[in-house]
Structures are given as C-alpha cells and as structure tokens.
C-alpha cells in the first residue's frame, strides 16, 4: 500500500518482550488497578440492570416506588463508578511514572555514550527524545491503560448484564461486536507501520529541507537548484504517499468502528419482535439498549480511537526510544533525506559543472578574469516591499571594466542593496541593472554561469567543513580544482602553474599564516573553530582565485585589522577585473579609482579629493571615520542575501 512499508519485524513484535517484563515487574500495581476496575464492572452491570428492573417491576407493574428504588440503585452505581475512577488514577501513576523514568534513563545513557564515542557529532535529537517524545510516550501509555482497562471491565459488566436480562441478547449483540473488533485488530499492525512510515517521511523531509537551507549558498553558487528541487520534490512525494496510505487505513478503521459501534444497535432493533416472542420484556429491551448506548459502545469507540491514535503513536515512539540503537540517533529514512546535500561535496570541491544539471552546464570560462565587467545602473529604483519606501531611487551609475569603485554611505542607506542588485540577487523594481550589457539574471543564464560572472563576498563569510583547498577552489573551474593526479577534486596536487596560482592567491590576500596554522591546504577546516576574521580571509582567498571578472566585497574585510584589510584590498585591486567594495573603513576610499557616496535619494561619484570638495556627507563620513566612530561590522542577523 505504501512504497515505504517495511518487512522487518514490526515494532510491536520487538517491543512485546520488554512490555511483558515491565508489566510482570509491576504485578501488584496491576492487581490494585484491577480491583478498582472491578467496581467499574459492577457499576456498568447495575446501571443497565437497574433501568430494566425499574421498568419491568416498577413503572410497568404499576409500582412507582419500586421503579424509583431501582433507578436509585442505578444512580448509586454511578457514584460507586466515580470512586472507582479515583482509585484507578492513583494506581495509574505507579504504573506510568516508572515507564517515563526508565525512558529518560535510557535516552540520557544513549546520548552520553554517543557523545563520548563521537564528541564532534552533536545528537540534537536527544533533546526531542528527552522532552517531547518521553512526555508523549507517558501520556499515550496512561491514556491507553485507562481506556483499555475501562473497555475490558465495562464490556465484562455489560455482557454479564445482557446475559442476566436475556441470554438471547448476546446472540444478537456479540457477532457484530466481535466482527468489528477483529476488523479493527487487523488494522492495528499495518496502521502502525503506516504511521511509522509517515513519521519517517516527515523527519526525512525536515532533515532534507534543513540540509538544503544550510547549503543554500552552495546550491545557488554551483547551479544545483534544479537537482536540489528534484530531490526535495521526491521527499515531498514520499510524504504525500505515506499520508495517503495512512488515510486509507484510517478509512478501513472507520468501517470497523461502524460495524462494532453501530451494527449491534441496528440488529437489536431489527430483532426486537423475534426477541419479544421469546420472552424478552420491555424493561430488558430498554436495559439492553442502556448497556449498548451508555456503556459498551462508548467504551468501544474510545478504545478504538485511543488504540488507533495513542496506541500506534506509543508503539512508534517506544520503538524509537528503546529499540535498536541507530548509528547516531537518526532513522534510516532521515539519513537518506540528507540526499540533497549529496550534491554539495562535488560542488564544494570546486567542480561546479558536476553539480549543475545538464541544461545548466556553464559555458567554459577563462581561468583568470578578463579585463573586467562593465556594470551599469539605469534609473534603478528598488524597494523591499510593494508598500515600502524605496531604498534606491532613480540611481544611475556606470563602473567601467577593470575599475575599482568604493561605495560609502551612512548605515542602512542601501549599500548592500546596491551590491545585491549588481550581483543579481535582487531585481530592480524600475530601471535596469546591466552587467556586460545584460541583466545579471538574464533569461537562460544559469546559476553556474552567474557564479562565474561575479563573486559577492558578504560580511558573514561562508566557510564549510572540508579541506582548505576545497574551500578556496569552491568557485573555480575544473582546471584548477582537479589538481590531483587522478583528477580527484581536492586531492594533493602536483606542483604546477595552477598550484602556483593557488599559492599566489593565498599569499596575496594574506592567508599564508592561517594556512600554515591549520596544517596546510589539505588540512580539514572546522568553520566553528575559526574566528570571523579567519573566515573572511578564506572567503577572500576563494574570491581572489575565482575566474569571475566582477568582484563585489560587501564589508568583506570588516573583521580584519586595518593592515590585513589594506593587504586584501590591494590584492583585489591588483587582480584583473572590476572591483566594487562596500567600504568598511575610509582607508578603502583612498585606494579606489572612484568613490560612490550614497545619500538617500542621491548618489554622487568622484575621486576622494573631488568628493571632499563636493560632498558634505562625504566630509562628515571621513570625519567620523577618522574619529573612530565608524568601522565596525554591522552584521544584522537574518539579512544576509549573498552567497559567498
Ligand atoms: N531583506 C530586507 N527586507 C526589508 N528591508 C531590508 C532588507 N534588507 C535591508 N533592508 C532595509 O533596506 C535599507 C538598506 O539596507 P542595506 O543593508 O542595503 O543598507 P547598508 O547601507 O548596506 O547598511 P549597513 O552599512 O548598515 O550594512 C535598510 O533600511 C534596511 O533596513
């Protein structure tokens, strides 16, 4: 029924021995619960029996007093039932809390063992197991004990009552009841399997989306959008199919509920003339209906829905908490869900083409940037929402190929927005942005081609777990990244012109000491262990090596000290290509061919000297920078738009 169903021994069979052990060790609690529950049987019996006697011996026999007395018996039975419930709840805690404690102990032990075995690998799912899943298990178990026990004792009381009123009543009521119960029982195991499939598919989907979200920059930068979307679609389709399959079994369960829960009443009414002919009294008929409608069938319905929902949930959760230890907490399907990121290692190692779909295969690109791109903004207006004030209004700008432009302006004026527009991450509301005569996101241009056309390094530099070499060659074509003799990307290469270029870029941006400290280019980098400045150096090295003729540095050196920043910027100025720097320090402006001052609606361009004469805002900014009131990274979480 489902493509994700299993043939391995089901969770029920795996858990049964443990459940039996758990219950055996709590015999006394069970006996106490049984004792209180017997009172519930008595209550059920007395309610139906009292109603029948009230009618036959009292009201129909002309003795109102007797009738009322029997009704009083039925009412008293209800009070006794209340006492029984109180006792049951007391006993319940003694059964349920040990289960929860045991589960918690097991989860903590497993998490600690996992952490000791693999310290670098955090098992975050333990938190969910410790809190949400153990609570769910406890609540579901408590609900099931209550409902199951109540059904057994209520059914015993009701069936005894029916038999005492007229044995033939059992003949009418029992067959549909048993048939419905059998049907229901038959759905239990497949339903649990479907529930498990659904949970697995759901976990796989969220793991998959998590992986995609974490690797979005890689996906966009490497042109793997279609492939990633295809993999995400497959995960969604699996979950849809699992949900459909679950719904089909839920429908089968509804049929079982109809047979067991409604057919006995219909049959009883249908068989009434036949029963009356065989000595059934009106009181007994009313008593039988009371048993069915007030006790037996409500208990059955509660049992079925509780077993259906809480039961299957409990089975699945318990299996997860106490079942076989998965390699490190993740279910099999969840691991396969990491599939979208499978595209990433190839992409990360620099083989951009290997990550792109055939339709998106980028055209061969020069290994070194050409003279540079020409960037034009023609009357560009951009706002972040339909009703929002434009951040840029009617901005015109031309950056010539090979030019080095520095953009300055007060915080929040739109400098990063400008960079994102040029990089093609945003599209202007009005006007046009052209890079070498075409919009960066021109129709037909793949993400891979876009990555070869320009590099944008934001403040929050992106470094991934992999070797330093892989990080640096991430945006390079194959000729440089496939340096290993066997062509294995990222392998230890032989010295050659490409290796020299790699070394030259490392030296140019000032990455040498960091590379040495890490253990060389083939040392594995742990992003979390790097400082922000170190991450920026690696991202700068990556941009420097890329063949893109346009480099956009959006405060990409803000965590470097002034000397390191100057060195990195010099490296980019010396690199062929067009360079646009969103300035972090005014010293950047001194090094530029031209400076663009953004001032709300206006943007003025000129050399540093010219702007000191012409722009009051520029003079202010220079003054502020010199007095040290500017120059910190203004990272705003959640606003990063740029793949590095
Ligand atoms: N994703 C976004 N959604 C809505 N508004 C945004 C978004 N990103 C930026 N803005 C707003 O657009 C304006 C310009 O932001 P932008 O980041 O381009 O300025 P900036 O000059 O680069 O600032 P800073 O120097 O502080 O980095 C700001 O008012 C900012 O709050």
The pLDDT tens digits for 169-201 are 999 999 999 999 899 888 888 887 887 788 788
Confidence grade of residue 234 (pLDDT, cut at 50, 70, 90): very high
Which of 393, 408, 416, 558 for mutating ligand 1's site (highest number of atoms within 8 Å of CB)?
416
User: From the alpha carbon of 418, which atom of ligand 1 is closest?
Assistant: 18
Q: What is the pLDDT of residues 597-639, one digit of tens each?
A: 988 767 888 888 888 888 888 888 887 665 554 454 544 433 4
Q: Report pLDDT for 357.
A: 32
Task: Give the SS3 label for residue 554.
Answer: strand
Question: Which atom of ligand 1 is found nearest the CA of 639?
Answer: 1
Of 12-21, 146-155, 404-413, 519-528, the one with minimum mean pLDDT is 12-21
Q: Taking residues 204-210, what's their average pLDDT?
A: 81
pLDDT tier for residue 478 given thresholds of 50, 70 and 90 = low
Tell me, in angstroms, the distance from the centre of ligand 1 to residue 545's CA: 29
- The pLDDT value given to residue 309: 72
Task: Give 68's pLDDT tier (boundaries 50, 70, 90).
Answer: very high
**CATH superfamily of the 11-345 domain:** ABC transporter type 1, transmembrane domain (1.20.1560.10)
Contact 572, 550 (CB under 8 A): no
Question: Can you tell me the distance from the alpha carbon of 419 to that of 425, in angstroms, rounded to the nearest whole number?
Answer: 9
Domain locations along the chain:
11-345, 402-420+453-626
pLDDT beyond 90 at 13: no
Cα 417 to middle of ligand 1, angstroms: 6
Question: What contacts 24+ positions apart, CB below 8 Å, involve 141-144?
Answer: 141/96, 141/99, 141/314, 142/92, 142/96, 143/306, 143/310, 144/306, 144/307, 144/310, 144/311, 144/314
Is the Cβ atom of 349 under 6 angstroms away from ligand 1? Answer: no
415 alpha carbon – ligand 1 mean position (Å): 8
Provide the CB-side half-sphere exposure for 270 (13 A, CA): 8
pLDDT of residue 209: 82
Confidence category of residue 383, pLDDT binned at 50, 70, 90: very high
Cβ 469 vs Cβ 521: under 8 Å: yes
Q: How high is the pLDDT of residue 26?
A: 85
Topology of domain 402-420+453-626 in CATH is Rossmann fold (3.40.50)
Q: Determine which residue's CA is closest to atom 29 belonging to ligand 1.
A: 412
Question: Rounded to an integer, what distance in angstroms lies between the CA atom of residue 319 and that of residue 484?
Answer: 46
State yes or no: pLDDT of 503 exceeds 50.
yes
Q: Is pLDDT of 459 > 50?
A: yes
Predicted confidence at residue 223, as pLDDT, reads: 66
Ligand 1 pocket test, candidate residues 380, 381, 382, 391, most atoms within 8 A of CB: 391
Token pair recorded at residue 25: 């060790």
* Burial class of residue 616 (count of CB atoms within 10 Å of its CB; 0-12, 13-18, 19+): exposed
Element (H, E) at 106: helix 64-117
Q: What is the mean pLDDT of residues 540-569?
A: 90
Per-residue pLDDT for 324 more than 80?
A: no
Residue nearest to atom 10 of ligand 1 (CA): 384
Distance CA(640)–CA(101), nearest Å, equals 44
pLDDT digits (tens, 9 = 90+) for 269-305: 999 999 999 999 999 999 999 999 988 888 888 888 7
- Report how far ligand 1's centroid is from the alpha carbon of 320 (Å): 45
Q: Do domains 11-345 and 402-420+453-626 have the same CATH topology?
A: no
- Whether ligand 1 lies within 6 angstroms of the CB of 411 is answered as yes
């Amino acid at each position: 029924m489902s493509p994700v169903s299993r043939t391995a021994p089901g969770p029920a069979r795996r858990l049964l021995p443990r459940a039996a052990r758990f219950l055996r060790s709590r015999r006394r609690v069970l006996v106490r619960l049984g004792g209180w529950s017997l009172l519930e049987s008595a209550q059920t019996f007395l309610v139906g029996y009292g109603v029948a006697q009230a009618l036959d011996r009292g009201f129909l026999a002309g003795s109102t007093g007797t009738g009322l007395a029997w009704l009083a018996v039925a009412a008293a039975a209800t009070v006794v039932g209340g006492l029984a419930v109180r006792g049951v709840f007391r006993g319940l805690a003694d059964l349920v809390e040990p289960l929860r404690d045991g589960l918690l102990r097991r989860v903590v032990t497993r998490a600690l063992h996992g952490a000791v075995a693999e310290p670098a690998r955090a098992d975050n799912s333990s938190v969910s197991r410790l809190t949400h899943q153990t609570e769910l298990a406890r609540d579901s178990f408590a609900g099931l004990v209550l409902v199951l026990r109540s059904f057994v004792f209520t059914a015993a009381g009701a069936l005894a009552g029916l038999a005492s009123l007229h044995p033939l009543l059992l003949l009418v009521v029992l067959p549909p009841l048993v048939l419905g119960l059998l049907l229901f029982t038959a759905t239990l195991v497949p339903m649990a399997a479907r529930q498990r499939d659904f949970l697995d598919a759901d976990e796989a989907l969220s793991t998959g989306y998590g992986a995609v979200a974490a690797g979005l920059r890689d996906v966009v930068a490497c042109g793997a959008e279609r492939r990633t979307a295809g993999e995400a679609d497959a995960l969604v389709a699996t979950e849809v199919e699992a949900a459909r399959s679950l719904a089909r079994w839920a429908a089968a369960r509804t049929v079982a509920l109809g047979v067991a829960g409604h057919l006995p009443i219909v049959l009883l009414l249908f068989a009434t003339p036949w029963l009356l002919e065989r000595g059934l009294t009106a009181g007994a008929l009313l008593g039988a209906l009371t048993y069915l409608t007030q006790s037996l069938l409500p208990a059955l319905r509660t049992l079925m829905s509780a077993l259906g929902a809480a039961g299957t949930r409990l089975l699945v959760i318990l299996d997860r908490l106490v079942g076989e230890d998965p390699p490190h907490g993740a279910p099999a399907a969840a691991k396969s869900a990491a599939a979208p990121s499978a595209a990433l290692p190839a992409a990360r190692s620099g083989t951009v083409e290997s990550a792109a779909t055939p339709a998106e295969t980028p055209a061969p690109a020069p290994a070194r940037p050409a003279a540079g791109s020409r960037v034009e903004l023609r009357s560009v207006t951009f706002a972040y929402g339909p009703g929002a004030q434009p951040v840029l209004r009617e901005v015109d700008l031309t950056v010539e190929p090979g030019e080095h432009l520095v953009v300055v302006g007060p915080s929040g004026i739109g400098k990063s927005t400008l960079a994102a527009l040029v990089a093609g991450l945003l599209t202007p509301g009005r006007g046009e942005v052209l890079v070498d005569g075409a919009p960066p996101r021109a129709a037909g241009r793949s993400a891979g081609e876009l990555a070869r056309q320009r590099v944008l390094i934001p403040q929050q530099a992106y470094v991934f777990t992999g070797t330093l070499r892989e990080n640096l060659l991430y945006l390079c074509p194959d000729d440089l990244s496939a340096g290993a003799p066997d062509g294995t990307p990222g392998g230890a290469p032989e010295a050659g012109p490409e290796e020299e270029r790699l070394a030259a870029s490392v030296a140019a941006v000032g990455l040498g000491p960091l590379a040495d400290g890490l253990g060389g280019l083939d040392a594995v980098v742990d992003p979390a262990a790097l400082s922000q400045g170190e991450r920026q150096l690696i991202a700068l090295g990556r941009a420097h090596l890329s063949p893109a003729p346009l480099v956009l540095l959006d405060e990409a050196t803000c965590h470097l000290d002034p000397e390191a920043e100057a060195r990195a910027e010099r490296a980019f100025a010396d690199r062929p290509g067009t360079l646009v720097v969103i300035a972090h320090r005014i010293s950047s402006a001194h090094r530029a061919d031209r400076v663009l001052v953004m001032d709300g609606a206006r943007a003025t361009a000129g050399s540093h000297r010219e702007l000191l004469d012409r722009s009051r805002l520029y003079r202010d900014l220079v003054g502020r920078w010199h007095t040290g009131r500017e120059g910190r990274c203004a990272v705003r979480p959640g606003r990063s738009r740029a793949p590095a």
